[in-house]
Amino acid sequence: SAVISQKPSRDICQRGTSLTIQCQVDSQVTMMFWYRQQPGQSLTLIATANQGSEATYESGFVIDKFPISRPNLTFSTLTVSNMSPEDSSIYLCSVEGLGGNNEQFFGPGTRLTVL
């Protein structure tokens, strides 16, 4: 199995600022995704991070608020822009294609608190 890391693991930010979260995998993967898990809730897919092209966003999520980069097959970033307290959540990246199948594995998550 691969090692998936995220940085930072947690952060406390001020309203109106932006935070960029990094996701690094130690092997090449086909697909990378970003999820949000709000307190007491399940996981909600934000977007699919496409290598070399713009991310594919789910309903309710837009590029201006959550810009995503994926410069290669092992790395992606998610930026939470112009944050408000409603953005307080855990943000998780996941990867697919490690074993040649469509199983997804999650990074450890980034716990974000916006004051």
- List contacts with other proteins (CB under 8 A): 33, 41-45, 48, 58, 92, 94, 101-109
Helix, strand, or coil (residue 85): helix
What minimum distance in Å lies between the beta carbon of 89 and other proteins? 13
**Cis status, amide bond into 8, omega within 30 of 0:** yes
Q: How far is the CB of 86 from other proteins (least distance, A)?
A: 19
For residue 1, the minimal CB distance to other proteins (Å) is 10
Residues 34, 69 contacting (CB under 8 angstroms): no
Residue closer to other proteins (CB basis): 33 or 66: 33
Q: Which two tokens stand for residue 59?
A: 């309903």
50, 72 in Cβ contact below 8 A?
A: no
For the chain, where are the alpha helices, taking DSSP H only? none
Q: Which is nearer to other proteins, 48 or 81 (CB)?
A: 48
Using the minimum distance from each CB to other proteins, give the nearer residue, 57 or 81.
57
